[in-house]
């Protein structure tokens, strides 16, 4: 009888972020692969889970407490036990740990625009140096967008033949089912929505300024939690819009709220891959996004970022320059037109369907098999 191969998936935690959600989506759609693989999920940190893998997955939980050194030791221990034929990791610390602890081919996936992801101080410089030294040793590197892939090639020395771009899977059917749930908050009127961690790179401050400039009586809901909450609440007061801005915190199921919004806005300075943007599109929302690195121009205009300038009414949504509240206000006012919103919403839903979770998951498994088959055979 032929031994089933072992595939190990690795991530920092199952907290309520986009990478964690994508990992669980990939696992849910990997159930048919059980005929060929025993599949395990290794979780490095013991954080409150905002996402759950399917019940059939073998989960190995550690408590590395955000430490790279502890993570490397944990990965070496569990890889020595499981002896995977192939592994797939998400997020920088898990990626570094996987490469350094690998006993077999390892595929890593970069979820953020790496050059923008690290801080500018000494710690950021050390992290960049480690990525530049270690990422090229991976069997394959999957980037979530063409912009992320280009950054890895040009700035982190990942060989051309090892890096490729695969967009995130969007579980459109699941999102639409979840959107039928009850509203998590009572907004009390028409509203614009955004979502994400309340951190500077998401630039919700620019969105507040653009929202104030746009005028009108709609409300703005920003779902998410983070260190910028106090600053954003103060800015809303200063702009005189505090009575129209809601910051409800992290919402386990944001999709009923997203489906009810007039417009969804992504105001980020940088993105690895804008999951929430695709999810809003899957629910037929008209969308506005900054033309940031990386992903929005590819998704909305089918063009590289450099080919899009100014306020652009692209095929599948509106693109605006990064950190430009006047442009944001112009886009918001343009989507006051209900007919234009409906037209964009219909196109957005069609575009989102092209990121079908089953098809994207199959592409991931193609890469895993390719990396596994290209490696020398080893004894078990």
Q: What is the DSSP string of 160-174?
A: TTTEEE-PPPB-HHH
Give the pLDDT band (50/70/90) at residue 238: very high
Q: Which residue has the tokens 């991530």?
A: 11
Pairwise CA distance, residues 14 & 118, whole Å: 21
Among 81-90, 143-152, 321-330, 369-378, the minimum mean pLDDT is found in 369-378
Query: Average pLDDT, stretch 35-60?
Result: 95
Buried b (16+ CB within 10 A) or exposed e, 39-57: bbbbbbbebeeebebeeeb
pLDDT confidence of residue 308: 94
Is pLDDT of 182 > 50? Answer: yes
Give the pLDDT band (50/70/90) at residue 296: very high
Query: Average pLDDT, stretch 138-157?
Result: 92
Query: Average pLDDT, stretch 327-348?
Result: 97
Is pLDDT of 380 > 50? Answer: no
Grouping H, G, I as helix, E, B as strand and the rest as coil, residue 220 is: strand
pLDDT per residue over 266-276, tens digit each?
Answer: 999 988 778 89
Query: Average pLDDT, stretch 49-67?
Result: 95
Among 58-67, 111-120, 229-238, 371-380, the minimum mean pLDDT is found in 371-380
Among 14-18, 237-241, 332-336, the minimum mean pLDDT is found in 14-18
As a whole number, the mean pLDDT across the chain is 93
Q: Which residue in 288, 25, 317, 285 sits closest to 144, CA to CA?
A: 25
Give the pLDDT band (50/70/90) at residue 379: very low
Pairwise CA distance, residues 237 & 249, whole Å: 18
Please, is 164 exposed, middle or buried when counting C-beta atoms within 10 Å of its C-beta (0-12, 13-18, 19+)?
A: middle
Pairwise CA distance, residues 59 & 224, whole Å: 27
Q: Which residue in 79, 172, 161 sits closest to 374, CA to CA?
A: 161
Query: Average pLDDT, stretch 177-200?
Result: 96
Pairwise CA distance, residues 122 & 319, whole Å: 34
Q: Which residue in 199, 22, 19 sits closest to 93, CA to CA?
A: 19
This prediction's pTM: 0.76
Query: For the chain, which domains are there?
Result: 5-169+356-374 (3.40.50.2000), 172-353 (3.40.50.2000)
Which whole-number Å values give the CA distances from 107 to 65, 104, 133, 217, 378, in the listed order?
24, 10, 16, 49, 17
Write out the two tokens for 347.
């196109």
Which whole-number Å values give the CA distances from 172 to 20, 24, 169, in the listed order?
17, 14, 9
């Amino acid at each position: 009888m032929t031994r089933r191969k072992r595939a190990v998936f690795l991530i920092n935690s199952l907290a309520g972020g986009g990478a964690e959600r994508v990992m669980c989506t990939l696992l849910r759609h990997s159930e048919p692969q059980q005929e060929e693989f025993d599949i395990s999920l290794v979780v490095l940190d013991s954080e409150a889970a905002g996402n759950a893998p399917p019940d059939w997955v073998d989960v190995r939980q550690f408590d590395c407490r955000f430490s790279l050194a502890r993570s490397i030791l944990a990965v070496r221990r569990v890889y020595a036990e499981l002896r995977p034929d192939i592994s797939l990791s998400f997020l920088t610390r898990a990626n570094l740990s996987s490469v350094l602890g690998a006993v077999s081919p390892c595929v890593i996936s970069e979820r953020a625009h790496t050059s923008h992801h690290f801080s500018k101080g000494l710690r950021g410089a050390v992290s960049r140096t480690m990525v530049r030294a270690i990422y090229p040793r991976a069997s394959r590197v999957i980037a979530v967008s063409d912009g992320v892939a280009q950054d890895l090639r040009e700035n982190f020395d990942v060989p051309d033949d090892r890096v490729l771009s695969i967009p995130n899977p969007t579980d459109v059917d699941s999102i639409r089912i979840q959107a039928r749930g009850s509203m998590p908050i009572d907004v009390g009127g028409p509203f614009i929505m955004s979502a994400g961690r309340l951190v500077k790179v998401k630039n919700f401050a620019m969105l507040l300024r653009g929202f104030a400039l746009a005028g009108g009586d709609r409300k703005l809901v920003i779902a998410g939690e983070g260190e910028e909450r106090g600053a954003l609440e103060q800015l809303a007061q200063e702009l005189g819009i505090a009575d129209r801005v809601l910051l409800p915190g992290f919402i386990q199921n944001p999709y009923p709220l997203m489906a009810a919004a007039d417009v969804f806005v992504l105001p980020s300075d940088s993105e690895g891959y804008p999951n929430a943007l695709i999810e809003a599109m899957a629910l037929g929302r008209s969308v506005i996004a900054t033309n940031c690195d990386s992903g929005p121009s590819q998704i909305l205009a089918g063009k590289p970022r450099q080919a899009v300038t100014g306020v652009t009414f692209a095929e599948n949504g509106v693109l605006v320059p990064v950190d430009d509240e006047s442009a944001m206000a112009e886009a918001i006012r343009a989507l006051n037109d209900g007919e234009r919103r409906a037209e964009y919403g219909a196109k957005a839903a069609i575009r989102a369907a092209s990121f079908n979770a089953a098809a994207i998951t199959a592409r991931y498994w193609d890469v895993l098999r390719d990396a596994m088959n290209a490696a020398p055979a080893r004894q078990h």
